[in-house]
Amino acid sequence: MGNNSFLLYRKQNTWLEQWDPRMKITVSLIFAASLLLNHNLLLKTAQIVLLIILWWIAKLSWRALVFTLLSLTIFFISTMIYQSILITNPGDSMIHLGFLTYSLQGAINGILMCEQIAGIVLLLSLLVRTTSPIILAEGLEMILKPFKKLRIPVHEAVMMFTIALRFLPILIEEIDKIRKAQMARGGGFHRKGISSRFRGIFPMLMPLFVLSILRAKELAVAMESRCYQGDEGRTPIRLYRLHPRDYSILAFSVFNLLLIFIV
Amino acid sequence: MQIQLNNVSFTYEKKKRKTTSFLAPPVLNQLHITIKSGEMLAIAGKSGSGKSTFLQLLKGFLAPTTGNVLLDDIDPNSSRKPELFDQVGYIFQYPEHQLFSTTVFDDIAFGLQSAKLPKEIKEQKVRKAMEVVQLDYEEFKDRSPFELSGGEKRRVAIAGVVVLEPKLLILDEPTAGLDLPSRTALFQLLHQMNEEQGLTIIWVSHQLDEIVNHASRLLALKNGIFIADGSPVTTLSDPELLESFGWEEPSALVVSRMLRQFGITSSNGKLSPEEAADAISLILNQQQILVK
């Protein structure tokens, strides 16, 4: 019955999923930096192609890829329009595309910009689609460990994030149930006009609120009764060890970053 | 109201244009059943056997993948009359979780809002619904539902459904989390509604004693198929069925069966507690006479 499509991650045990989460986050950051710094059309295209190949290796659905890219259409269009207005080298030969006029540099800039947007989104999408949220949070916590010395509550923040993620499916199930329950006793308000439907929102939100607070209270008691006392002295259930594979992808992404400055 | 299910199957997997090799097994498999008006129908089955799905089909929250559901010989799904499902009252598990208003009156009257009734009629209906669930109108109407006890909250929630005057009442595990007095009171209430208003009542239960004592008919659901359908006394006396569910014979039936085996009573079926007590005291008296 469970529909988990809102959680992007689905366990498939592909090569990408086995990467160490710390390394994955680091590599994603480096790759993002190189995407942003890169102003070579060929190289940037190659990077996008690489991301798409990774997408394929991760056995993610092509539909999701198309959907992700199409959802950015508005950014692509606005970027291209912006670039046509902002003609960089007026002396250049002009390219006419419908009602838009570009200088060569402007067109390249526009495409680069679009690739940048698509690249970053694909990269992030790839990261969350191949890493279980809990592993991602653990990786984040390990990376942010140094900040603990500055008394930044890293562990607490990550714990909150994890709990929120964990309770999302339960909450969604609850919403569905409350919605049906209110429909069942609502005298058909859900089939009437918008104002009538609007009045149905409060009866849904109120029980949801009450239940969430009750649930939070219960969770706090349950955590305490299992001796949770925060970060101090807490041992991890999963031990992460860096493999040669992780170092090699790091090396590759650093090389990728350096390549920009060489070319 | 009579409900008829013709060849109903249900699968959660949506149909895709490209049929993949993977096909989810149906949650309900070709059900064929008629529920007559005025029945007290209990549904039993393990979790995941399709109970909730079956109930949601009756309320129209789900439409069957194949087959059809007929309410009084009309299929609301295919004839596009979803308002017919309003005749069905559905009380979810822990209905007290749906309460939201500041007063009991508002909460119960929620279902009447969209009907735009005059104030007096609204009040009358709420009063009647509260009477049915045995809550005193004057005492409770202005109180906050959140300060009531668990049993009272549940009554308020049930009143919120009853106020719409359904012809069929579906309850998903109505006694879960209630203490014994509240449970007894709830069944008294259900019987009363069943007898006085001719309401058809369908409820899910895991308590076999509850089923034996209150149901007129039992449907046992397993893997999306009704493997038993009939009077609870005969169904639950069947050792094969009991074993297939891993159930223990309800205590009322055990006592009746043993008394019958010892030749103390001759009646087939379930004895009421009084009858059993009489029979036992009779045999004890006889023994005392023998000892003397």
Upper half-sphere CA count for residue B213 (Cβ side, 13 Å): 16
Which pLDDT value is given to residue A1? 35
Instruction: Read off the pLDDT of each residue in A9-19 and give the average, rounded to a whole number.
Output: 85
Predicted ipTM? 0.79
Residues belonging to chain A: 263
Mean pLDDT for chain A?
A: 85
pLDDT at A104 > cutoff 80: no
Instruction: Read off the pLDDT of each residue in A87-101 and give the average, rounded to a whole number.
Output: 68
Q: Most A CBs within 10 Å: which of B61, B114, B146, as the mutation test of the A interface?
A: B114
In degrees, rounded to 5, the angle at the alpha carbon of residue A79 between the alpha carbons of residues A77 and A82 is 110
Domains of chain B: 3-11+25-247 (3.40.50.300), 250-292 (no CATH)
The shortest C-alpha distance from A182 to chain B (Å) reads 7
Upper half-sphere CA count for residue B199 (Cβ side, 13 Å): 26
Which pLDDT value is given to residue A90? 64
Model confidence band, residue A7 (pLDDT cutoffs 50, 70, 90): low
Q: Do A187 and B115 touch (CB under 8 A)?
A: yes
> How many beta-carbon contacts under 8 Å exist across A and B?
66
Which pLDDT value is given to residue A89? 64
Model confidence band, residue A25 (pLDDT cutoffs 50, 70, 90): very high
Which pLDDT value is given to residue B42? 93
B41: helix, coil or strand?
Answer: strand
What is the C-alpha R_g of chain B? 22
The distance between the two most distant Cα atoms of chain B, rounded to a whole number of Å, is 85
Which pLDDT value is given to residue B242? 87
Best CA proximity match to B139, nearest among B107, B178, B105: B105
Best CA proximity match to B259, nearest among B246, B269, B244: B269
Per CB-CB distance under 8 Å, the chain A contacts of B56 are 180
Least CB–CB distance from B100: residue in A1, A191, A203: A203
Which pLDDT value is given to residue B283? 82
pLDDT at A178 > cutoff 80: yes
B203: helix, coil or strand?
Answer: strand
Residues 6 or more apart whose CB falls under 8 angstroms from that of A8 comprise A125, A128, A129
Tokens of B225: 């198929």
User: Are B226 and B64 in contact, with CB atoms under 8 Å apart?
Assistant: no
DSSP state of A232: T
Between residues A128 and A197, the one the model is more confident about: A128
What residues in chain A have their Cβ under 8 A from chain B's Cβ atoms? 1, 177-178, 180-189, 191-192, 196, 199, 202-203, 206-207, 210-211
Q: Which amino acid is at B209?
A: D
Instruction: Read off the pLDDT of each residue in A160-168 and give the average, rounded to a whole number.
Output: 85
The shortest C-alpha distance from A191 to chain B (Å) reads 9
Which pLDDT value is given to residue B273? 78
Tokens 């029979």 correspond to B279
Instruction: Read off the pLDDT of each residue in B78-95 and give the average, rounded to a whole number.
Output: 87
Instruction: Read off the pLDDT of each residue in B194-219 and give the average, rounded to a whole number.
Output: 89
Query: Closest-CA residue in chain A for B160?
Result: A185
What is the distance, to the nearest Å, from the Cα of residue B106 to the centroid of all Cα atoms in its chain?
A: 26
Strands of chain A, DSSP E: 94-97, 100-103
Instruction: Read off the pLDDT of each residue in B281-290 and give the average, rounded to a whole number.
Output: 82
- Output b/e per residue, B101-116; b: 16+ Cβ within 10 A: beebbbbbbbbbbbee
Which pLDDT value is given to residue B15? 53
pLDDT tens by residue, B120-172: 999 999 998 898 888 899 999 899 998 988 888 888 998 999 898 889 999 99
Least confident stretch, A190-199, B111-120, B276-285: A190-199
Instruction: Read off the pLDDT of each residue in A78-85 and give the average, rounded to a whole number.
Output: 83
Phi first, then psi, for residue A16 (nearest 5°) are -65, -30
User: Are B167 and B136 in contact, with CB atoms under 8 Å apart?
Assistant: no
pLDDT tens by residue, A44-71: 999 999 999 999 998 888 888 898 899 8
Least CB–CB distance from A199: residue in B95, B113, B160: B113
Q: Do B113 and A180 touch (CB under 8 A)?
A: no
Least confident stretch, A89-98, A211-220, B151-160, B221-230: A89-98
Which pLDDT value is given to residue B21? 45
pTM: 0.72
Q: Domain spans of chain A?
A: 15-131+240-262, 147-225
Q: B103 and chain A: CB distance < 8 Å anywhere?
A: no
